[in-house]
Amino acid sequence: MAESNLTGRVVGIDLGTTNSLVAYMQGDAPMVIPGVDGSNLVPSVVALDPVSAEGGRPTVTVGNTARKALIETPERVIYSVKRLMGRGLDEIQSELRLFPFRLADDIEAGEVPRIRLGELKFTPPEISAYILRQLKRNAERFFGAPVTQAVITVPAYFNDAQRQATKDAGRMAGLEVLRLVNEPTAAALAYGLDRAKVGTIAVYDLGGGTFDISILKLRDGIFEVQSTNGDTHLGGDDIDNLLLAIALDEIHAEHGVDLRGHPGAVQALRKAAIDAKISLSSDDVARFDIELPNGDRYQREIPRAVFEVLIEPVLERTAGPCKQALADAGITPEQIDEVVLVGGSTRIPAVRQLVDDLFHLTARGKKPHIDLNPDEVVALGAAVQADILAGASKTTEEMLLLDVTPLSLGIEALGGAVARIIQRNSTIPASATEHFTTGVDGQTNVAIHVVQGERELAADCRSLARFDLRGIPPMSAGLPRIEVKFLIDADGILKVTAREQRSGQAAKIEVKPTYGLTDEQVESMILDSFDHAEEDFAKRLLIEARNEADTILAAVDRAPQSPAWAQLTSVEQVAISAASSRLEAIKAGEDAKAIRDATLALDQATRRFAELMMDAAVSSAITGKTMGAADEDLGEAVTAPHPMAAAEFK
Amino acid sequence: MLNVLDSAVPVACWSCSVAHNDSTLFCPHCSKIQPAAAGDYFRVFGLERGFQIDLAALEREFHGLSRKVHPDRFARSSETERELSLADTALLNDAYRTLKDPLHRTEYLLKLEGAQIGEEFAGKDSLEARKGQKDPSRVPADLLEEVFELNMQLEEMRMARKMGEEDPQLQADLQQAQKKFEGLLAAVDKDLRAQWQVWDAGDTSVRQAAQKTMVDLIDRRRYLSNLLRDVTETLGA
């Protein structure tokens, strides 16, 4: 892509471990774009439908639909794939023990691991691409126009390979990723829109699978990250796993049933564990009451005090990174003006207490910021950054984000030690130039091993890539002078260029990433063909418009059976019938916009009818029905966003 | 804004070919972003070489330049502009990172002025590391006795820790030593700042002498801070 699109909307995407969201800037405020089901959160779950579509490949579903398949056909569903992004086979062994990832059995050393989903195999970026494609479609449905550019958020502590894998996923989904933004920084942007212009803030982000802490200095619209730290494998999932392990052990010990071999039952139990965890954020005690396959019941109470002791080691793991981030920023907890809490796990009271202790908040009469929904704030911030990148917006024209690289970049030196060339917490883009020479007469290539991490030995750091500098003119040992420029770009991804200075020849660099897909592989994994992008888009809009029309038409068909129907005037009844027949007629045509307009007209015509039905439901609640039953009449009860549906046991 | 220095030379704009001053980041004719001029980190900020810097002004200038050249301002521009913005911003960030830190700034300017500074890392396989390498473990002559004693205490402490023993006396002695060496470090910093002033105000011969003093101070400082790191680690373990 030589030239970028100059027009079109840029959306902000939070590609989360548990849930994903897409948001955009509506006027001067960011807003989350809901899916067809009206929900802002798209669960990061991907399932392969059992029925094959005409194309030969089975259909892939994403989100709530996919999540429902988790208990029925767990072998065709994958979740928490973010834990596998950009990681090698040797690095994911610990994940495999805790998560039901099924690896393909033909993975060769150095290859990107592939996960089995039913009869097919996918790399983690491909799975993420399906989630991104769903978000892209939600946005396109919302705007009624194609969306091709996005900002995607990543944990601040993601390394080079994890970032590259996320970018690859965007490309596979048909999105030009204009920028990867760190999640805590995005949250700061969302909060910074209407906040104090000067100050130092800490963002504590404990999500489903990752933990980040970032310290930023705000000054006249410039958000300058001072330091960041974290753990890419620490989050709510770890708490779920603790509860799950206890339940599994107790069921085994008390009832003689080992559920570990039953993926469906483990999933059901995991849901119960998550429900228990969530309820303990507001209740003093949570109850497990589960019917086991042998008809026994597993009943257990978990008091909050017990829960807090249980999760203390997990929470304590966030303290070290916080202290390190403060030290790296060269400040004390007292110098933090504000603390922002991000991620669903920060709803846990014990987490809030820990944050309070770490930053001496109560002692200073301060409270952490929780006004923005912790599940949405990262996506909202991504939308702000998208607006900054799109340019020409009054709201964000004064804003600029200066982020840092979370990990030091080094090269392996003689003896396996690491020579650090770019320190962690350097503002990005950042660069370093190093000079290399040959050790043997006539030597024409030099190998450079680049690593990321803070340890002294290269073997203890994360291998990033091996560069082979080739085509060095043959000279006496030590005479060539090869200048290698390492540059970390604004996405936190490394780029390398090299030049032999004595001969002026540009040395050819062959890069072998230690983990990750090649350009060609990514190209071959692109989900949709772009040749017919416009045509496909029109088709999809039409299908969606028809589906929406069908939904409302079915509701209108049932209307005369409702007591509320009789309360309508005959004029109103005729108007509804007319709008309904008109929509039926237009639906058969090919004009998506006309179908939408007719759907809207029918929706308008039925408005009073809908109100009458609501009134009936409310009055029945007042006249003795329980609130719970009234809630059911009204549809979804209003609840806090919930990463998992209520536990269902059969 | 970027100041125009005397050394500025005319160059042709890559986009419109109209000539402009090489330290201008945007072509005055077509407004397109330009490659940063060759030169040192001081020039990035339009500053003369010097050890003393107004940090508040430096930050303001850094923020102002960032607003203009940062890749976020060019996300939807042509590939050439995006690459120039990336290169210009990397240079700006590298320059700011180096100049805002007193020690980095001092070492950087000493190197620019031709001084040989011992590399922190001994085993690096690069030309720069091979030349002018000094032994970082060399003890400053006036501290020989104290360092010897401190090393003994550190060793004892580590042994005691290993055996799971507490030695309050040793702990107190080490804390005493820690304080003392922190004082020595602060003295070095004070001496360095004094030399900054001398260099910034002096002529060539004065500068030569100041440079030599600063190189020695930097070596001493490096030795002291490594030692202090050991003490802190041992006490904190």
DSSP labels for A6-25?
A: SSS-EEEEEE-SSEEEEEEE
Question: Which has the closest alpha carbon to A104: A90, A94, A89, A125?
Answer: A89
Q: Which residue has the higher pLDDT, B100 or A621?
A: B100
| Chain A 3-22, residues with CB within 8 Å of chain B CB atoms | 3-6, 10
Backbone angles phi, psi at A358, to 5 degrees: -60, -40
Query: What CATH number does the domain containing B84 carry?
Result: 1.10.287.110
- Token pair in block for residue A156: 């601040």
pLDDT in tens, A436-469: 888 888 888 888 888 888 888 888 888 888 887 7
* Domain shared by B32 and B82, yes or no: yes
A483 at the B interface (CB within 8 A)? Answer: no
State residue A395's pLDDT score: 82
Do residues B17 and B92 both lie within one domain? Answer: yes
Return the higher-pLDDT residue of A613 and A534: A613
Integer Cα distance of A159 and A455 in angstroms: 15
Contact B124 A419 (CB under 8 A): yes
Judge whether B3 lies within some domain: no
- Reported as half-sphere exposure (CB side, CA atoms, 13 A), residue A218 has a value of 25
Rounded CA separation A14/A102 (Å): 25
A415 touches chain B (CB under 8 A): yes
Beta bridge partners of A154: A182
Average pLDDT over residues B19-28: 83
The candidate with the shortest Cα–Cα distance to A467, out of A436, A442, A496, is A496
> Is there a contact between A228 and A207 (Cβ–Cβ < 8 Å)?
no
- Give how far B32 is from chain A: nearest CA, Å: 15
Under the banding of pLDDT at 50, 70 and 90, the label for residue B5 is very low
The structure tokens listed for A550 are 């069908």
B140 and B230 fall within a common domain: yes
Residues A246-275 have pLDDT tens digits of 888 888 888 888 888 777 788 888 888 999
Mean model confidence pLDDT for chain B: 82
Residue B162 shares a structural domain with residue B80: no
pLDDT digit string (tens) for B99-158? 999 999 999 999 998 887 765 443 344 444 444 444 555 677 777 888 888 888 888 888
User: What's the length of chain A?
Assistant: 650
Domains of chain A from N-terminus onward = 10-197+375-401 (3.30.420.40), 236-314 (3.90.640.10), 409-518 (2.60.34.10), 533-634 (1.20.1270.10)
Reported as a single tens digit per residue, the pLDDT across A38-68 is 899 999 999 988 765 455 557 888 998 888 8
Are B84 and B20 found together in one domain? yes
Q: For residue A195, what pLDDT is reported?
A: 60
Residue B130, token pair as written in the block: 């091979």
Q: Is residue B210 part of a domain?
A: yes
With respect to residue B25, please indicate whether it lies within any of the assigned structural domains.
yes
A431 backbone dihedrals φ, ψ, rounded to 5°: -140, 165
Q: Of the segments A137-151, A248-262, A612-626, which one has the largest average pLDDT value?
A: A137-151
Segment A626-641 mean pLDDT: 33
- Nearest-CA distance A17 → chain B (Å): 26
Domain count, chain B: 2
Confidence of residue A627 (pLDDT cuts 50, 70, 90): very low
Per-residue model confidence (pLDDT) at position B237: 59
Give the separation between CA A35 and CA A48, rounded to whole angstroms: 20
- B153 shares its domain with B215: yes
- Chain A contact for B78 (CB, 8 A cutoff): yes
Torsion of CA B12, B17, B21, B22, to 10 degrees: -40
Over residues A325-374, the pLDDT tens digits come to 999 999 999 999 999 999 989 999 999 999 999 999 999 999 898 888 98
Is residue B69 one of the residues assigned to a domain? yes
Task: Provide the pLDDT for residue A544.
Answer: 77
Distance (Å, whole) CA A160 – CA A511: 14
Q: Which residue of A has its CA nearest to B77?
A: A4
Structural domain contains residue B120: no
Q: Are residues B27 and B85 in the same domain?
A: yes
Strand partners, A288: A300
Angle in degrees, 0-180, between the axes of helices A570-587 and A533-558, rounded to the nearest 10: 150
Domain assignment present for B170? yes
Residue A418 in this model has a pLDDT that exceeds 90:
no
How close, in Å, is residue B20 to chain A by CA atoms? 26
Which chain A residue has its CA at the smallest distance from B71's CA?
Answer: A490
Peptide bond into B102 cis (omega under 30): no
Q: From B48, B74, B100, give the residue that closes a domain.
A: B100
Residues in A touching B38 (Cβ below 8 Å): none
Q: Which residue among B100, B121, B149 closes a domain?
A: B100
The residues of A that are catalytic are 14, 82, 183, 205
| Domain end residue (candidates: B42, B74, B100) | B100
Same-domain status, B145 and B231: yes
Domain assignment of residue B176, yes or no: yes
Q: What CA–CA distance (Å, rounded) separates B206 from B173?
A: 42
Sign of the torsion angle spanned by Cα atoms B81, B86, B90, B93: positive
Q: Mean pLDDT over residues A1-6, rounded?
A: 44
d(CA B72, CA B66) in angstroms, rounded, equals 10
By the 10 Å C-beta count (0-12 exposed, 13-18 middle, 19+ buried), A515 is classed as buried
- What's the Cα-to-Cα distance from A228 to each of A409, A430, A499, A501, rounded to whole Å? 15, 16, 33, 37
Q: Which of residues 206-265 of A touch B (CB under 8 A)?
A: 219-220, 222, 224
Q: Which residues of chain B have a CB within 8 Å of the CB of A481?
A: 127
How does pLDDT run across B83-113, given as a tens digit for each residue? Answer: 999 999 999 999 999 999 999 999 999 999 8
State residue A295's pLDDT score.
Answer: 82
Residue B64, domain member (yes or no): yes
Phi/psi at A545 (5° precision):
-65, -40
CA distance B99 to B106: 8
pLDDT given for residue A88 in this prediction: 85
- Domain limits at B173? 136-236
What value of ipTM does the predicted structure carry? 0.83
Which residues fall within 8 angstroms of residue A621, CB to CB, at 6 or more apart?
A: A627, A629, A630, A633
- Span B30-87, pLDDT tens digits: 888 988 877 899 999 989 899 999 999 999 999 999 999 999 999 989 999 999 999 9
